[in-house]
Chain A
Amino acid sequence: MSINIDQSKCIGCGKCHDVCPGTLIKINEQKKAFIKYPKDCWGCTSCIKECPVHAIRFFLGEDIGGKGSKVHTEKVNGLIRWIVEFPDGSVKHIDIDPKESNKY
């Protein structure tokens, strides 16, 4: 389980670097973010929520049942939209209203 950063989208703002609880993300000389220690990712998804250009994708390692889907979030009309891109090209959206509590 870890993250993947699309450097062609990255604008080098450094927000993902700042927020990672393991300080695992670094910015290279070309001002692009990269994950220096991919195996040390906890899977908290903090970086994904910070990225203003949606350049970061979260995925599960194959060792814990991952099947190659990529996940990120976007803010849409005040909702947090979780976007899961499956390997077959299909996409699932789950919208969460941050003002609404969990039911369980």
Chain B
Amino acid sequence: MKIERIKTDLLIIGGGTAGCYAAITAAQDASQEAAESSSSNAAGNKGADLKILIVEKANIKRSGCLAAGVNALNAYITEGRTPKDYVEYAKKDADGIVREDLLYSISERFNEVTAHLEKLGLVILKDKDGKYVTRGNRNIKINGENIKPILANAVKKLPNVTVLNHVNIFDFSVHGNKIDGAYGFGIENDTFYAIEAGAVIIATGGAAGLYRPNNPGFSRHKMWYPPFNTGAGYAMGIRHGAEMTTFEMRFIALRCKDTIAPTGTLAQGVGAKQVNSLGEVYETKYGISTSERVYGTVAENLEGRGPCYLRTVGISDEQEESLLKAYLNMAPSQTIRWLENETPSKANVEIEGTEPYIVGGHTASGYWVDTKRATTIEGLYAAGDVAGGAPQKYVTGALAEGEIAAKSAVEYINATVDCHAPLQGSRNDVETEATIKEAEIASHVAEIETYLSQKNSLYTTEQLEEAMQIAMDEYAGGITTGYGYTEKQLNIAKEKIDEIESLTGKLSATDLQEVMYIYELKERITVCKSVIAHLATRHETRWHSFAENLDYPGKDNIHWRKYVNSRLVNGEIKTFTRELTAEGQKNYEHQH
């Protein structure tokens, strides 16, 4: 294996929605700054010399959540509404457990990033007066099939941004709680990468594939969330002691059965109601928050009134034609399923809940960050699904967080730029630092080579992944138990996950892509352990289905209007609580 050493100013791990937009923001700000004032360079600012590197395990053209497209922007401040309205909506949907400062900071940017996307080439539906056509109170309609290529093209045009595609980052380089780079390997070029950076933005998305999926057989990857989002960003942070928040608030999406395609286009687009097998509209019975919509569907099934559907029978031919197109632009499987079976005007669309995901763009799970998106590791910023505290982010929220994280990271780089000059410290310190780095590289390379050289592993990575998914499904509130769990079950889940983890050291791989699969499994295991610890901590059921604690079936506002946070201490995930930010609070700083 070749070893390549790269030095950059800003390293962005993950070239999805948030990562690409972070690069665009940082590069634009840098060139603007250089144009405005050459004297700023003298003051230590990097200006146009700022080197930005995106490292992406696939290819930024279609990687991340938006590979197939998206058919609406779900977070937009429509005419007559304010950012405060959006904050209130997200807060209500999460029953209070949100960071208002984070929500304000994205809500105030939704419209600006949308305008930028349109400038880059995104098609947005407008009325005859040139105003965006809205879908409900917060959404606008787009043709988002090519949204990811649009972002990728914008990145490609930036002279100071380098993209490394097909390189998987699997560890941070952190010393004294300060990040100075990351380690990865090219999955197809037999190369180990040791990257040094002045600041790092983590934008690897959330985690799918922790629980047994809806379709565990041939179509196991036909899930809503990208199966390639394995929780790498969470896992790397957890292992280096970063504080995490709200992993107990799992996201379970209500989706079209089998294809796991979105339902919002049916519910909001053609006004399809949720009905049970008796034809009764049941959504009002359970409430209409995101988790209640899932819970109602589970409850109707458990009580013998399933299956449940979105009532689409009777929609017009024109509506049907538009739906077929809308799904081709974001979830083509659903259109094909309709064409191969019955179309939505002839048959209602069966719905089901997905397996639980951990995803900070929809619920509040992720890194505990300050308003600037700084994590508790110095120099490490988080954006998009990997960042916690701000649910209902969607695409525009991920863009906004990319922007905020980029500005903060660049500010940090410029503030610390002098430290990179020859140090006042002794030569020995520099040498010691280099020795530590070389030892880390050697140890990582040795581990990778062990996986490549080991033979006769009794278990395969795939088998252990399935074992993990079954353990989580049966004992940590998966689809099988209707998402409910007890403390006793969680204890069993933890035992099983620990056992599976102990077997990963013996796994073997024939190439670096298979080595990546081993690391992805280990990432998921780390996230599972955090999820179990968080679920066991919150002694209440605040969000049905998302965190259905059967030992504590009620909501407890006296004790649990708090964040549950966690940190790895001596190899164990330790959870603790923090008080909620104040009503209307717009700024939060880490208390060191």
Partner-B contacts on A (CB < 8 A): 1-2, 18-23, 39-46, 58, 60-67, 69, 71, 80, 82, 84, 86, 92, 94, 96, 98-104
Contact = CB atoms under 8 A, between A and B. Distances in A.
B18 to A, nearest CB: 16
Interface in B301-337: 319, 322-326, 328-329, 332-333, 335-337
A58 B326 contact: no
Contacts, number: 165
Contact of B326 (A41, A60, A99, A102): A102
B579 interface: no
Interface of B: 57-59, 61-64, 67-68, 71-72, 123-125, 133, 135, 141-146, 165-166, 187-188, 215, 217-223, 226-228, 258-259, 265, 268-270, 319, 322-326, 328-329, 332-333, 335-337, 339-341, 513
B67 A44 contact: yes
Contact of A104 (B57, B146, B265): B265
B141 A65 contact: no
Q: Which 8 residue pairs are nearest across A and B when measured between Cβ atoms? A: A104-B269, A101-B125, A64-B258, A44-B67, A44-B68, A46-B62, A61-B219, A67-B340
Given A21-B67, A45-B68, A101 B222 contact: no
Given A101-B141, A102-B142, A102-B322, A41 B123 contact: no
B435 to A, nearest CB: 35
A17 to B, nearest CB: 9
Nearest to B63: A21
Interface of B is mostly: loop
Contact of B67 (A42, A62, A67, A84): A42
Contacts of B258: 63-65
Given A94-B335, A101-B142, A102-B141, 6 more contacts: A23-B57, A45-B332, A46-B68, A102-B329, A103-B326, A104-B269
B332 A104 contact: no
B332 A40 contact: no
B125 A102 contact: yes
Residue of A19, A61, A69 most packed against chain B (CB within 10 A) = A19
Given A22-B227, A65-B258, A103-B141, A82 B221 contact: no
Contacts of B259: 60, 64-65
Contacts of B58: 20-23
A68 B49 CA distance: 54
9 contacts: A21-B228, A60-B259, A65-B258, A65-B341, A86-B340, A99-B143, A102-B329, A104-B265, A104-B326
Nearest to A97: B143
Contacts of A2: 218
Contacts of A67: 340-341
A39 B323 contact: no
B67 A98 contact: no
Contacts of B125: 101-103
